[in-house]
């Protein structure tokens, strides 16, 4: 059966649904920002597209990491993928390092990627400016990203706005490679997340685990409330009797993503007229988050009790991904003159 799926997926030219690739670094359990900015959209995409969702562990090693922690983080993120509703029957879930062709293609793409393009990347400039010694992997990170996407000849890539520059570089790499070795790779389109930039509970910086301004998607009711009660609100609303401004309050923005839309006009009105205090408003938000997370916790509990099931899902996903990756690399090596035995035997 797996073999049948592999062959079906390998017929890149004749496939019906458009192909999507997206990846997430293994930082352990996913958090609210990952869910609102990416995972929620991935769950919808799997219904319409042929999706490949990848735990990109080889990207994680370009920053600070501990080798002994990485396996558990990889598994925890995979559990989060499954917990939010990614379905291995509808999409392919796998770990990047299980498909060595990602690294091979990224090396080959290095040959068509100008150094100046990499040095211009905003993320590289930001991250490298904070380091005394800059690893070459940080510079080449977007080339590996291009390889991740183009290895599957994906046509659509869900991204946050901060990744648009990298996706444009992927398109440029595809163009350069195609013009040199013949048209083969699509120029993938960005599908920008409607959620926009999700600010953390500090109301200031992007929601992220490293900034400790978020809440894990598997947090229980008490943990959710403990986190949400710390959220920063409209700074002008010092006392409960001060009218608030929902349009500048990040708690309200989170309500727009998570609370029943029918309740939003009342939440905004009660805020503006100072009829409801911020603590009560945050309690409503915490309840919305808790309700959203409840099925995630239930599914995660099952997978945590059965980690072998997760490993099997990841292995089946990697097998399927490898089938496509091998076909792409056969073509790429041939066109670049690296399939020398076959060429000489002709
Ligand atoms: Fe923000 Fe709600 Fe407080 Fe208004 S009542 S400032 S929306 S937390």
Query: Where does the pLDDT of residue 161 fall: very low under 50, low under 70, confident under 90, or very high at 90 and above?
Result: confident
pLDDT reported for residue 247: 96
pLDDT reported for residue 210: 87
Average confidence score pLDDT of the chain: 93
Give the nearest ligand 1 atom to 282 CA: 8
Across the strands, what pairs with 24? 55
Residue ranges lining ligand 1, Cβ < 6 Å: 233-234, 237, 244, 246, 249, 251-252, 271, 276, 278, 281-282
pLDDT reported for residue 16: 83
**Ligand 1 centre and the CA of 213: distance in Å?**
18
- Pocket probe for ligand 1: among 233, 238, 289, the residue whose CB has the most ligand atoms within 8 Å is 233
Strands 91-95 and 19-24: unpaired
Query: pLDDT digits over 3-27, tens only?
Result: 343 333 333 444 689 999 999 999 9
The Cβ-side half-sphere exposure at 7, using a 13 Å CA radius, reads 3
With pLDDT > 70 as the criterion, what percentage of the chain qualifies? 96
**Ligand 1 centre and the CA of 32: distance in Å?**
19
Q: What sign results for the dihedral spanned by CA atoms 144, 147, 152, 157?
A: positive
Query: pLDDT digits over 165-205, tens only?
Result: 999 999 999 999 999 999 999 999 999 988 888 999 999 99
**Ligand 1 centre and the CA of 63: distance in Å?**
37
Q: Characterize 134-143 residue by residue with b for buried, 16 or more Cβ atoms within 10 angstroms of its Cβ, and e for exposed.
A: eeeebbbbbb
pLDDT reported for residue 215: 96
Q: What is the mean pLDDT of residues 98-108?
A: 98
CA 47/CA 60 separation, integer angstroms = 28
301: CB partners within 8 A, 6+ apart: none
Q: Does residue 96 contact residue 56 with C-beta atoms inside 8 Å? A: yes
Q: Does residue 99 contact residue 325 with C-beta atoms inside 8 Å? A: yes
State how far the alpha carbon of 104 is from the alpha carbons of 24, 144, 309, in Å. Answer: 20, 9, 29
Query: pLDDT digits over 109-118, tens only?
Result: 999 999 999 9
Residue 125 annotated among the catalytic residues of the structure: no
pLDDT reported for residue 95: 98
Q: What is the mean pLDDT of residues 238-244?
A: 92
Which domains are present in the chain?
A: 3-199+307-345 (3.40.50.620), 221-299 (1.10.240.10)
Q: Give strand ranges (E) for 96-253.
A: 156-159, 189-192
């Amino acid at each position: 059966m797996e073999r049948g799926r592999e062959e079906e997926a390998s017929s890149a030219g004749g496939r019906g649904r458009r192909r999507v690739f997206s990846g997430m670094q293994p930082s352990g359990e996913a958090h609210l920002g990952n869910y609102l900015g990416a995972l929620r959209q991935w769950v919808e995409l799997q219904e319409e597209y042929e999706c490949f969702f990848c735990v990109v562990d080889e990207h994680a090693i370009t920053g600070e990491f501990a080798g002994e922690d990485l396996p558990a983080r990889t598994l925890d993120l995979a559990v989060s993928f499954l917990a939010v509703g990614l379905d291995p029957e509808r999409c392919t879930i796998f770990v990047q390092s299980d498909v060595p062709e990602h690294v091979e293609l990224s090396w080959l793409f290095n040959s068509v990627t100008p150094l100046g393009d990499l040095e211009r990347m905003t993320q590289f400039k930001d991250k490298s400016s904070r380091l005394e010694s800059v690893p070459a992997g940080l510079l080449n990170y977007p080339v590996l990203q291009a390889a991740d996407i183009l290895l599957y000849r994906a046509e659509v890539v869900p991204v946050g706005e901060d990744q648009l520059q990298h996706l444009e570089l992927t398109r440029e790499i595809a163009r350069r490679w195609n013009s040199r070795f013949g048209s083969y790779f699509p120029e993938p389109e960005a599908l920008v997340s409607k959620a926009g930039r999700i600010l953390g509970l500090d109301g200031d910086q992007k929601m992220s685990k490293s900034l400790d301004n978020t809440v894990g998607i598997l947090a229980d009711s008490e943990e959710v409330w403990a986190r949400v009660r710390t959220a920063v609100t409209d700074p002008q609303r010092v006392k409960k009797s001060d009218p608030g401004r929902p349009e500048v309050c990040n708690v309200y923005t989170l309500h727009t993503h998570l609370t029943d839309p029918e309740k939003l006009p009342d939440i905004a009105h009660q805020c503006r007229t100072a009829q409801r205090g911020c603590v009560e408003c945050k309690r409503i938000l915490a309840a919305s988050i808790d309700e959203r997370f409840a099925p995630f916790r239930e599914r995660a509990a099952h997978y945590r009790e059965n980690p072998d099931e997760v490993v099997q899902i990841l292995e089946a996903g990697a097998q399927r991904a490898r089938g496509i990756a091998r076909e792409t690399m056969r073509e790429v090596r041939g066109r670049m003159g690296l399939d020398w035995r076959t060429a000489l035997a002709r």
